[in-house]
Chain A
Amino acid sequence: MASVSETASIRRRGAFATFIIRLFKEKPLGAAGAIIFLVFLFCGIFADFLAPYGMNQISPLNRLKPPSWQHPFGTDNLGRDMFSRCLYGAQLSVIIGFCAAGLATIISVVLGILTGYLGGRFDMITQRFVDAWMSFPDLIILIVVVSVLGPGMPQIIGTLGLLLGIAGSRIIRSAVISVRENMYVHAAQSIGARTPRILWRHILPNVMPPIIVLFTTRVGTVILAESGLSFLGLGVPPPAPTWGGMLSGAGRTFMFQGPWLALAPGLCLTLVVYSTNMFGDALRDLLDPRMRGSR
């Protein structure tokens, strides 16, 4: 028995290694995306060790300094080191981006698969609630939640996740409806497979492409949405360094005196969004057995 599980784990590691090799060989852009993303993740996790200055360390003598060796990304209007703040921002923005996008995707997938596959009256009723929910302006809901619970990360992650998740359920639902009509689903039913098995083995793997795309695009959306919220004072409260906050706060105010104030966090944001999108696309293609060996 032990030998069986051992060979299984060897095979799995083999599959992971093969995946990495294929990622680099067949999808160089996706591999670049993965590397950029891992660098940001690393920076975020180890920001405490990597950042040369504290995130809120003020140095009144070094206000609005352009990029130099001492301050690679310059300093802001309070003399805070932009490089350090961007590193810490990676922590906050990446956490918010991934948690909220992850939550949104899970909600979309669960709602979308259940309503799409089960259909009928359940679908009818659930989707009318989705309609009602989607007809509220997102901002109003966010303002209500933040004013009731106060600004903070968990509130923002929860609300953005719920907002995007419910809206995204439509996309997954329509994908499920088209997959459901395939004869292999019918074949599984005729074998006697029960609904959970059909959802897990037949529906979910075949709606993975839209799920991956949904998730990777949501990461960008969430990071940008958070910056919008910070702009309105509803995001993660200052002086916490979120990229969105830096971009819309000092970055906008001192756009002409110190363009690096907006450039640095803007570049970080663009790179993270771009890298997740590239990696997502590569992942989608690599997970599809039909795309083997193609570019």
Chain B
Amino acid sequence: MVEPIFDYQFRLILIGDSTVGKSSLLKYFTDGKFSELCDPTVGVDFFARLIEVKNGIRVKLQLWDTAGQERFRSITRSYYRNSVGVLIVFDITKRQSFENITGWLAEAKFHIEPHQAVYMIVGHKSDCDTERQVTVREATQFAQLNGLKYIETSAKSGHNVEDTFQILAKDVYKLLEEGRVKIEDGWDGIKPGFKRGNENVHIEEEETEKSKCC
């Protein structure tokens, strides 16, 4: 269970082709487990984990695991808007998933803007280096071309999984510190956390009530 006290909640969304391993990546990040078999995600699923982006600053990452299947595309579009961080995941062993990144990135930007968000490109299944169809160099180049960071991960080996989310969360926190993103009504990309003190319950109640009303 998630630690109760944190300062902020960042909403991060994972997008990318089906079967690139988004859910596995999140499962490993949140549970530390990897399972070979994984049902395709329906619509969107949720994960959460608490991390520290800075000394004493704890952030709850609410991770939106979207369905990669084309048939859910129309639905997953609905979920971009309230995200402050976007992980665009592709499978380094599937060339097509890399080439579709452009489309995913454009779609995410289209729905997120004008809000600020941190985008990051993740080459997944780095454990399957022998089957690699996308070189690190071209993936890095593509990322740089779009002004983004590129990282390769593996839910199987756990390679870079932790770092990926740490980097993303810290970048988001930097945006927050710089004032380029902020907590605001009607946008759930960043929410205040359960602060130590009286407000805890109130915040929670407010939130629940809000959602109830709607």
Asked if A pairs with B, the answer is no
Q: Interface on A for B, CB 8 Å cutoff?
A: none
Q: Interface on B for A, CB 8 Å cutoff?
A: none
